[in-house]
Amino acid sequence: MTRQGEAASGSARRPLAATASALFLLLASLFALPNTATAAGVASYKKAFAQLAAFAPDPSRVAAVHGLSLKRDLATFEFVDGQMALFRPVEGRIWGAVFTGRGTFSFRPPTEIERDQLERFYKTDSLVTTFDALVLLFADTTLVELASRAKFVPGTVAKKAIPVMRKTLDTFLDQKSMDINYSVGKTCLEGASNELFLAYIVEAHAGNAVIFEIDPFQTEQVQLYRVKPMPFQKRFENREVICQFPLEADRERGTSPDRDFVDTYEDEHYQIQSRFDGGLRLAGETVVRFRSLEDGQNWLALVLDPNLDVDAVQWESGEPADCFKGPDASLLWVRNDHPLARGEERTLRNRYHGVVVQRQDDWVRFDPGASWYPRVISGRRSTYDLEYEYPESYTLVSVGEPAAPERKGNSVRSTWKVATPIAECSFMIGIYKEHKIQVETIPPITILMSESAHRQVRESAGEELLEQGLAPGKSMEKQVGADVANSFAFFQTLYGPTRLQRFYVAENPFERSFLGVAYPGLIHLDWSTFYSTVSEGSDEMLRAHEVAHQWWGSLGVVPATYHDRWLSEAFAEYSALRYLQDASKDNKRFLDALQRSREEILKNRKFLLGGGQEAGPISLGPRTSTSTTRGDYRIIVYEKGAWVLHMLHNLFLDLDTMKDGGFADVMREFYTSFADKDATTADFQRVVEKRAGRDMSWFFHEWVYGTGIPHYRFAWHAVPEAGGKYKASCRVDQENVPEDFQMFVPLHIDFGAGKFASVRVFVKGPHSEFDLPLLPMEPKQIVFNDLESVLCEVEAVGW
Ligand SMILES: [Zn+2]
């Protein structure tokens, strides 16, 4: 702390006689503190953690509170009647307060999407709840506001305050691993004055808790959480976000964030050495070059797997750095040797060891989600120099351009270089059979299959798998290779060339539910797709989906924020569908796959409407999956998202010639304009509108930002007209969508004897009636929504 801070702490340690006026003096001096620019921050993580973990109400600062209100963005706290105690000061600073008594919390999100989200969880679009206990944590002006409106004097702290304090602490720190929520940790360690404000609200009667937070390190600072014990997560992650949006000042600016986090550092380059011993234990050394994006930063956090222990951290001079990572913690905190100025560049050398790769029989598993090297929070795109050393019985592949591997005794040393910045870095090691594919038009492909491990599985569990209908496939490396090479070539024609020089596909027996993960030039595919190819196309699609991420998501176009995640997953899924259509040379498997996904999307809604929770829109990204809507990220962002692209494709289709009509150009232009850049949904909409030559906001509003899926009831009848022609009249009732919902729907008119025609009709509102253009002969059948063009339910009814 600064000298002013120390002076303040001196006055704060005065015995109980501290009067309100002394407190005001303290407050005045606290807020006269210079910002983080010159503050030295806390001297030691351990000490700071111990102080935070010991946050407690201060019996020398207790106030009776009546009718006090606090407003933070769109949240209002009314402290009707009760007692408020400030926290005991830490190094002269008061970080929070605890209230017991009677109060109300009200909150109304600013947008329809977020109000709908509140509706899904709480059946109301503006939350008003009474509370009987509440804990505040703040780095903003709350203390000044409280002290000017309540008189804090020595008193007895209500008993109820203590357990609520404990529960609050549990939501941002973990005593055992000494891990701490990044935003709270960074603020407290720096001793920063920023917008951080956290309220842990215990609802009266039900006893449930909600958290309202303003997190200055996220671009959508305003957040509402419900506290929910969730398995397999750290205690302080036992909460799920319900609403999230930018602060008022940012909302008024009218631009949506183009990233999720507010970075205070930029990681420029990583030099990573990873050595695997005979037991595949990792000993690593990473040199990271980073730049400070703010003035006066004292603390840096790096993400590093809980299974990795840090041995040493040094500055470029060789001087040891003051750092801390708790046992099983996921953050490594480093104290800068002096407050870093904006633009200042530093280099840190980290040594660490532990287990991120496991071997069982001949299976080698690597969790691609593991933070296998220390990475500056919240790293974006960096260049890499990678070096691996491993026993010669293994094969290792990595992202980057490889140099010829060298032998070193019984080990192999290989180096890889990533010269153009990438967002995610990975490798894979295993006992592999290699299958190389050389085709002129695409980069060389290497398929790595765990052949000996498959043999072991066939011997030990082959019969069991057979009973489940899984017969081992033949030459699986070739089956996988064919889909990878064919889809690669197909996407290259569809979207344009990638800058990849080579492409690796490595088998990985995943433990978690995902089946494939993509990195630039390297994809991990689950063992199951190397065991057999199931007939309905899901294996072809899985392989092609991960290949497509070389255009959408991993390399090429990268989604800017979580709202834009569909630009990666839906685009990959849609590409996979197109590959299925192209590979099978007929529309049936494509239409069947679309139909299956439509049924899944509709079933999801129906099941949920029958008692559960309705699915959110595509633009909520990963937030569509919650503890009550677990599979929704896949169903909404992947599957409904792919449908959205399919619908756009069909809107561009020329029904007379069945030619593309411009959608292929949309995808190519979007890819070439945003390759190696971050893209938002709005960027994509602009390309669509440019090619369509018209405003398409209605379409994005309905399908990407909205949740409606229309149910159409369709009736038609035809009467003869002069000259042998026929007049066909149609009637459409539209349900399950907002009143103004509109869509273009193709009709297939079948005249029999192989003669047919197609028209596209515009359907808007609950009820529409229209006549088709005069038909040359009598229609035998009119099919509404031909070719699965619109994601909807159609019910044919009599006229
Ligand atoms: Zn994917």
Return the pLDDT at 12.
Answer: 29
Distance 100 CA to ligand 1 centre (A): 47
Convert the pLDDT of each residue in 197-233 to its tens digit.
999 999 998 778 999 999 999 999 999 999 887 665 6
Distance 644 CA to ligand 1 centre (A): 16
Distance 549 CA to ligand 1 centre (A): 7
Distance 499 CA to ligand 1 centre (A): 20
Return the pLDDT at 40.
Answer: 54
Distance 368 CA to ligand 1 centre (A): 13
Return the pLDDT at 232.
Answer: 58
Distance 115 CA to ligand 1 centre (A): 29
Return the pLDDT at 32.
Answer: 38
Distance 622 CA to ligand 1 centre (A): 13
Distance 531 CA to ligand 1 centre (A): 20
Inform me whether the pLDDT recorded for 261 exceeds 90. yes
Among the listed ranges 236-240, 290-294, 311-315, which one has the minimum average pLDDT value?
Answer: 236-240
Longest dimension (CA), the chain: 105
**Parallel, antiparallel, or unpaired for β 557-559 and 677-679?**
parallel
Return the pLDDT at 743.
Answer: 97
* 160 Cβ contact list (under 8 Å, min separation 6): 100, 132, 133
Convert the pLDDT of each residue in 434-454 to its tens digit.
999 999 999 999 999 999 999
Distance 525 CA to ligand 1 centre (A): 11
Distance 715 CA to ligand 1 centre (A): 40
Distance 619 CA to ligand 1 centre (A): 16
Distance 575 CA to ligand 1 centre (A): 11
Distance 511 CA to ligand 1 centre (A): 17
Secondary structure class of 625 (helix, strand, coil)? coil
Distance 246 CA to ligand 1 centre (A): 28
Distance 617 CA to ligand 1 centre (A): 18
Distance 570 CA to ligand 1 centre (A): 8
Distance 505 CA to ligand 1 centre (A): 14
Distance 599 CA to ligand 1 centre (A): 21
Convert the pLDDT of each residue in 715-746 to its tens digit.
999 999 999 999 999 999 999 999 999 999 99
Distance 424 CA to ligand 1 centre (A): 14
CA angle 136, 137, 142 (to 5 degrees): 75
Convert the pLDDT of each residue in 492-526 to its tens digit.
999 999 999 999 999 999 876 668 999 999 999 99
Distance 225 CA to ligand 1 centre (A): 27
Convert the pLDDT of each residue in 586-644 to its tens digit.
788 899 999 999 999 988 865 554 556 688 999 999 999 888 888 899 999 999 999 99
Distance 765 CA to ligand 1 centre (A): 36
Convert the pLDDT of each residue in 324-366 to its tens digit.
999 899 999 999 999 999 999 999 999 999 999 999 999 999 9
Distance 547 CA to ligand 1 centre (A): 9
Between CA 252 and CA 254 the distance in angstroms is 5
Distance 57 CA to ligand 1 centre (A): 48
Distance 565 CA to ligand 1 centre (A): 10
C-alpha 482: how far from chain center = 31
C-alpha 225: how far from chain center = 16
Distance 574 CA to ligand 1 centre (A): 11
CB 397: neighbour CB atoms within 10 A? 24
Between CA 136 and CA 247 the distance in angstroms is 19
Return the pLDDT at 47.
Answer: 92
Distance 233 CA to ligand 1 centre (A): 23
Token pair for 89: 């000061």
Distance 652 CA to ligand 1 centre (A): 26
Return the pLDDT at 256.
Answer: 85
Return the pLDDT at 463.
Answer: 87
Distance 295 CA to ligand 1 centre (A): 38
CB 687 within 8 A of CB 669: yes
724-749: buried (b, 16+ CB within 10 Å) or exposed (e) per residue? eebebebebbbebbeeebbbebbbbb
CB 287 within 8 A of CB 347: yes
Distance 517 CA to ligand 1 centre (A): 7
Distance 344 CA to ligand 1 centre (A): 37
Distance 545 CA to ligand 1 centre (A): 6
Share the mean pLDDT of the chain: 91
Distance 569 CA to ligand 1 centre (A): 5
Residue in the block written with tokens 């930002």: 705
CB atoms within 5 A of ion ligand 1 belong to 569, 572
Percent of the chain with pLDDT over 70: 92
- What kind and span of H or E run contains 285? strand 282-292
Distance 378 CA to ligand 1 centre (A): 21
Distance 572 CA to ligand 1 centre (A): 6
Token pair for 279: 């037991």
Tell me, yes or no, if the pTM score tops 0.75: yes
Distance 209 CA to ligand 1 centre (A): 34
Distance 551 CA to ligand 1 centre (A): 11
Distance 470 CA to ligand 1 centre (A): 24
Return the pLDDT at 453.
Answer: 95
C-alpha 485: how far from chain center = 29
* 559 Cβ contact list (under 8 Å, min separation 6): 553, 565, 566, 567, 568, 678, 679, 680
Convert the pLDDT of each residue in 76-85 to its tens digit.
999 999 999 9
Distance 426 CA to ligand 1 centre (A): 15
Distance 234 CA to ligand 1 centre (A): 26
Distance 375 CA to ligand 1 centre (A): 23
Return the pLDDT at 287.
Answer: 98
Inform me whether the pLDDT recorded for 30 exceeds 80. no
CA angle 314, 317, 318 (to 5 degrees): 45
User: How far apart, in Å, are the Cα atoms of 768 and each of 713, 731, 740, 749, 792?
Assistant: 11, 6, 12, 19, 16
User: How far apart, in Å, are the Cα atoms of 81 and each of 57, 138, 154?
Assistant: 18, 22, 18
Distance 548 CA to ligand 1 centre (A): 8
Distance 289 CA to ligand 1 centre (A): 30
Q: Which amino acid is at 500?
A: L
Inform me whether the pLDDT recorded for 13 exceeds 80. no
Distance 657 CA to ligand 1 centre (A): 33
